[in-house]
Structure 1
Amino acid sequence: MSIIHYPTLHETSGLPSLAFTSSPRTRESWYEIDLGAIRHNYRQLRAHLPDTVKIFACLKRNGYGCGAGPVAHALAAEGADGFAVASLPDAIAIRETGVDHPILLYPGPLPASAQAVESLELTVTVSSLDELEHWRAALSTTRIFVKVDLGFFRAGATPQEIGRILSAAYAYNDVELQGLYAHLSELPTSSSSAAEEQFARMQRVLAQAESAGTRPPLVMMSSTEGVLRYPLMDLDAVDPGALFIGLPETDHPARPIALRPALKAISTPLVAVKRIDASLGPIPDIPAFRPGMTIGILGMGWGDGLPRKVSSQAAGLVRGQRARLLPPAHLEHLRIDLTDVPDARFGDQVLLLGQQGNEIITLEEVAAQWSTDVVGLYAQLRDHIPRVYS
């Protein structure tokens, strides 16, 4: 494992820093992220795409909790063409690693952030003529991707409006129209036939743009599920995200890609160990508490992303043995039953995810304990917990 440090933008360019770096030396809990797995997943995708199709890696939510900067640095080294994020801190984190690839901002940042957008050479998303005018008023050169809504009912212009936006963008000398993109609907009513209907809408949008001479140079609409299920939707570029951390997001891939999980371990120390005796008074009427047991206190709690309700199946690995986690969880601490691990000591590391000796706690197991799915588990990783990279 290693701690990766990059010079920050405020150290090199005078831009205010919006983040800080940390390490297990300053806090004894950490997430272990396998950059080798992320590189492997990228290579798997690249091998299944035509050479002409570009890859814009979607690293929203701090690279799905894995650290947008280090993940982007690894993917840039593998050959990624660009990146897409939904927040300025994620874009800053990528630039801080020295990555100078194109970065597309999904809807989120507003024209009030124009100074940072220009300093970082970012491309903004435009979904209406009104948005275009607001960004033009704030930026000296407005680099844009236009977004079209094909039936997701989220950000993006309707297919009926898209032609007017493209024409307006091409009419301005201070606007650089770099591309057009869409995202397939993830609404519960979506189906494979709905995806085909959305693709047909995109084809009509592109045919009209071709006829009007306003087709942008880059068009993309495939995130993780799309790029794995619908090869015909590759177009000029794809922008998957979950794929790079090891999640296919579909049970029916047309492309047989073998993915590896990026999140390898969640580790926290024993900050206290003691045997319960009669001097503490009555045993609490809480499941699994009993006289004479040995309990440990972990240095993580629900303020660190752990669930407030502790599952009866929740466990940690201590000295290669499973030990039950005990309710209730607290803001920064959690109890663990060490009665059957008599060698456990203050300072021992406890894995809440990962492998210790012959025992393993899987991502799927932890996600079930946290009442979510695996992508939801990644989303609950907290930015104040240090990451170590292997």
Structure 2
Amino acid sequence: MPKARETVLEIDLNALTHNYNYLRSKLDKDVKLMAVVKAFGYGSDVAGIAHKLTELGADYFAVAYTNEGVALREAGIETPILVLHPQSSNFKAIIDHCLEPSLYSEFVLREFIQTAEKQGQKNYPVHIKFNTGLNRLGFAEKETGIVRDLLKGSEAVKATSFFSHLAASEDWREREFTLMQIHTFRRIAIKLYDELGYRPFLHICNTSGIINYPKAHFDMVRSGIGLYGFGNDKPEDEKLKPIATLKTIVSQIHQMEKGETLGYNRAFKASKPTKTATLPLGHADGINRQYGNGRAGVFINGQYAPIIGNVCMDMIMVDITGIDCAEGDEVIVFGGPQHAVEFAAKGNTISYELITGISQRVKRILVNN
């Protein structure tokens, strides 16, 4: 790959293909795969990711908010798109762009039915979410009668799927709780199948659910973090390939004498002669202050250079004492020699927060397209 000449996030579509195929290999051939591409494709390049996943055969996409679904439609994506957290003010836009809402409470279900009726819709596809223990969004089991009555009381909408979300599918210590969620979901679905007289398809498994609970794949599974190369478990991480590599360059090199200080609040003080490099990215780019003062570092010409001093808005400084490098040389923040999980852990956070937090001002480049 060409060397970086500015701060860029490289998105490797070969790695995406590998991850997609690995996850597909876990599924029976009749189980659909929903690709979760919310938050700009987990901080990557949502249009590029979605087009590649369409080519690979993804059956559905999922986004968090309506504007994310609209952006995919405007990028030419025709695959069905589930909006996981729609707001009633956007229901007309959902219908206008042929998006499919997750309806998770009596209020939103009534509001969407009302909007669909005003728009002259018939059997508009909706997805009904049930809360089986995450306690975030979803109808409670005791509210199945409300769901039944509202769905049977209008021809404007029809349930395409019932779904729920696992709270701790990656944690074997919570296996009993996860199995309880799965059994509750199955019980709800069977009850509503009988009362509605038709069978919406079912989905509850996220990436870790795909891997750890194959008997709960039902009709479809949803994968987000796994597609981007993270398995929430070290053995699974080794079978996946992170798609994103954050690169930057050395802007300037300084030679500090013993006793000199560096950066805001003089947070670093040289205890010996120290060579430093200034890099053009900072907390406005998603490399936040918790990574500073020696907690995390980068790689320059294959060697580790710790971040020193406080992270600035647009710059970080690293210790390059003993590293043979020059201004303009490429720097790898994560990806390649340093897994994003490792980098995130040094800031006491998780890969999800790190990769989705990379600012949109960082240029995205698709490679192996």
Alpha-carbon distance, 1:298 to partner? 1.0
The residue aligned with 1:237 is 220
1:298-337 paired onto structure 2 within 5 Å: 298-309=279-290, 310-337=292-319
Instruction: Tell whether the 8 Å contact from 1:41 to 1:245 is kept in structure 2 after alignment.
Output: yes
Further displaced range: 188-197 or 129-138: 188-197
The residue aligned with 1:11 is none
Secondary structure of residue in 2 paired with 1:48: coil
Aligned match for 1:195, one of 164, 178, 181: 178
Structure 2 unaligned spans of 5+: none
Alpha-carbon distance, 1:204 to partner? 1.6
Q: 1:342 to 1:57 in 2, by over 3 A?
A: closer
Secondary structure of residue in 2 paired with 1:206: helix
User: Given residue 197 of structure 1, which amino acid in structure 2 is its aligned partner?
Assistant: M
| 1:31 maps to 2:23 | no
The residue aligned with 1:368 is 345
Q: 1:68 to 1:282 in 2, by over 3 A?
A: closer
Q: 1:313 to 1:126 in 2, by over 3 A?
A: closer
Aligned match for 1:48, one of 4, 7, 26: 26
| 1:294 maps to 2:275 | yes
The residue aligned with 1:7 is none
Secondary structure of residue in 2 paired with 1:378: helix
Instruction: Tell whether the 8 Å contact from 1:170 to 1:177 is kept in structure 2 after alignment.
Output: no
Q: 1:41 to 1:163 in 2, by over 3 A?
A: farther
Q: 1:295 to 1:196 in 2, by over 3 A?
A: closer
Q: How many residues align?
A: 356
User: Given residue 193 of structure 2, which amino acid in structure 1 is its aligned partner?
Assistant: E
Further displaced range: 77-86 or 213-222: 213-222
Secondary structure of residue in 2 paired with 1:388: strand
The residue aligned with 2:366 is 389
The residue aligned with 2:111 is 134
Q: 1:303 to 1:135 in 2, by over 3 A?
A: same
RMSD: 2.9
The residue aligned with 1:76 is 54
The residue aligned with 2:208 is 225
User: Given residue 316 of structure 1, which amino acid in structure 2 is its aligned partner?
Assistant: V
The residue aligned with 1:16 is none
Instruction: Tell whether the 8 Å contact from 1:145 to 1:179 is kept in structure 2 after alignment.
Output: yes
Q: 1:259 to 1:215 in 2, by over 3 A?
A: farther
* Identical counterparts, % of pairs: 25
Q: 1:149 to 1:342 in 2, by over 3 A?
A: closer
The residue aligned with 2:160 is 178
Structure 1 unaligned spans of 5+: 3-23
The residue aligned with 1:113 is 90
Q: Under a length normalisation based on structure 2, what TM-score does the superposition of the two structures give?
A: 0.86
The residue aligned with 2:355 is 378
Further displaced range: 70-79 or 87-96: 87-96
Q: Distance in 1 between matches of 2:319 and 2:138?
A: 51
Alpha-carbon distance, 1:277 to partner? 6.6
Q: Distance in 1 between matches of 2:50 and 2:204?
A: 21
The residue aligned with 2:241 is 260
Secondary structure of residue in 1 paired with 2:25: helix
Q: Distance in 1 between matches of 2:197 and 2:241?
A: 40
1:337-376 paired onto structure 2 within 5 Å: 337-341=319-323, 343-345=325-327, 347-355=328-336, 360-376=337-353
| 1:86 maps to 2:61 | no
Alpha-carbon distance, 1:217 to partner? 2.6
4+ residue runs over 6 A deviation: 187-190
Q: Distance in 2 between matches of 1:67 and 1:190?
A: 35
Further displaced range: 308-317 or 203-212: 308-317
Q: Distance in 1 between matches of 2:67 and 2:322?
A: 44
Aligned match for 1:269, one of 224, 227, 249: 249
1:141-220 paired onto structure 2 within 5 Å: 141=121, 142-186=124-168, 191-220=174-203
The residue aligned with 1:9 is none
User: Given residue 384 of structure 1, which amino acid in structure 2 is its aligned partner?
Assistant: R
Q: Distance in 2 between matches of 1:257 and 1:167?
A: 48
Secondary structure of residue in 1 paired with 2:99: coil
Instruction: Tell whether the 8 Å contact from 1:305 to 1:380 is kept in structure 2 after alignment.
Output: yes
